[in-house]
């Protein structure tokens, strides 16, 4: 069985790397790990997008101490986030109280359960580490952290190589609900590992492990065909095949990143149309530009439905007979109205 060159390189490099000890509190059954150097990411052009995932869809508590964190490691499918920073007991207690979190204690560890739906709870392991998840996941994580003979997540060995990267993802397969939030690729893989550095623009390196050379070639071709539909910043993605793996690489300067993320400028106003007319004087003639009037807008004539007005019946004048030649003078006799003839049935 041939082993991909990219995998050998990553494995050899990972063997020489180490990760912070608090990473071992990740769920031992995790199928995906995501690491975020939040101090670097929040100062980058991608801060809003990453923040929208963490405090939006994933449901991180809206606490100021979390926004000031240093590093975040998230494991799934049972979502558990480990957050390193400065978490003094009084500060986090006051902030949680303002958000109506319910304070509890489990095995001597302070915990705060969220009251609203869609918001995760948290447990303060010590002044430097906070765990975020639903209550059941947090209790399981605390039991795991206190177990001297605990098992470790197998993905940690592969994640160690990315200790100093700004954002990294390791997954045992794709698609994966957590991994695809940060790796928006329409691809299937038996393994994925990749990282992004944002300090000097954008540098992306990733490897998708396929089941065979044929599958790797098919996945690579599918990705190449999808590149024209990517955002402008990602259209320079390089896709190559190394045995049964697909290798991805992308580089962009900070100026290119800023230009890609800059909103489009509003369209310039359209100048009114002009017309040149000839003006003649006794001494010379010249053409002068004048504003061309806009063509009149003819409103469609609304044709009203003709309404037949009731015909008013003019009252008939009474018939009259005038007799002249009488001694007492002319005399007028008004005749009675003519009755309509009855029609035979």
The tens digit of pLDDT for each residue in 19-52 reads 899 999 999 999 999 999 999 999 998 999 999 9
Average pLDDT rounded to a whole number, residues 199-216:
92
- Report CA 62 to chain centroid distance, whole Å: 19
The per-residue pLDDT for range 48-66, each reduced to its tens digit, is 999 999 999 999 999 999 9
d(CA 14, CA 21): 15
Res. 313 pLDDT band, cuts 50 70 90:
low
Highest mean pLDDT among 146-150, 183-187, 203-207, 276-280: 203-207
Res. 279 pLDDT band, cuts 50 70 90:
low
d(CA 28, CA 152): 5
pLDDT value, residue 344:
53
Is residue 287 over pLDDT 50? Answer: yes
Average pLDDT rounded to a whole number, residues 306-324:
61
Cα–Cα distances in Å, from 26 out to 6, 36, 77, 78, 306? 26, 14, 11, 10, 81
Res. 212 pLDDT band, cuts 50 70 90:
very high
Is residue 116 over pLDDT 60? Answer: yes
- Report CA 193 to chain centroid distance, whole Å: 24
pLDDT value, residue 12:
41
Res. 182 pLDDT band, cuts 50 70 90:
very high
Res. 4 pLDDT band, cuts 50 70 90:
very low
Is residue 163 over pLDDT 80? Answer: yes
The per-residue pLDDT for range 234-246, each reduced to its tens digit, is 889 999 999 999 9
Res. 174 pLDDT band, cuts 50 70 90:
very high
- Looking at per-residue pLDDT, the higher value among 318 and 18 belongs to 18
Range with the poorest average pLDDT among 14-23, 137-146, 175-184: 14-23
């Amino acid at each position: 069985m041939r082993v991909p060159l990219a995998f050998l390189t990553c494995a050899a490099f990972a063997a020489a790397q180490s990760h912070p000890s608090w990473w071992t509190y990740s769920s031992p059954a995790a199928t995906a790990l995501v690491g975020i150097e939040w101090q670097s990411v929040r100062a980058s052009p991608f801060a809003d997008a990453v923040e929208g995932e963490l405090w939006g869809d994933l449901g991180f508590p809206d606490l100021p101490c979390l926004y000031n964190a240093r590093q975040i490691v998230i494991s799934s499918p049972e979502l558990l986030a480990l957050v390193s920073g400065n978490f003094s007991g009084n500060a986090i207690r006051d902030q949680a109280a303002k958000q109506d979190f319910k304070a509890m204690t489990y095995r001597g560890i302070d915990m705060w359960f969220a009251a609203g739906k869609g918001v995760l709870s948290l447990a303060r392991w010590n002044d430097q580490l906070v765990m975020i998840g639903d209550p059941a996941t947090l209790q399981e994580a605390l039991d795991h952290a206190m177990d001297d003979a605990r098992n470790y997540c197998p993905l940690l060995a592969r994640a160690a190589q990315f200790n100093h990267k700004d954002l990294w993802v390791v997954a045992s397969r794709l698609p994966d609900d957590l991994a695809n939030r940060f790796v928006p690729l329409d691809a299937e893989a038996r393994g994925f590992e990749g990282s992004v550095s944002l300090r000097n623009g954008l540098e992306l390196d990733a490897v998708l492990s396929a089941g065979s050379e044929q599958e790797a070639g098919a996945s690579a071709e599918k990705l190449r065909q999808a590149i024209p539909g990517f955002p402008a910043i990602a259209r320079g993605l390089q896709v190559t095949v190394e045995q049964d793996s697909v290798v991805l690489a992308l580089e962009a300067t900070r100026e290119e990143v800023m230009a890609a993320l800059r909103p489009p400028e509003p369209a310039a106003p359209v100048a009114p149309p002009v017309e040149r007319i000839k003006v003649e004087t006794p001494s010379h003639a010249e053409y002068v530009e004048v504003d061309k009037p806009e063509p009149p807008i003819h409103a469609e004539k609304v044709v009203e439905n003709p309404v037949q007005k009731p015909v008013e019946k003019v009252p008939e004048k009474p018939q009259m007979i005038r007799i002249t030649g009488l001694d007492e003078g002319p005399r007028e006799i008004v005749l009675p109205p003519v009755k309509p003839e009855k029609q035979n049935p």
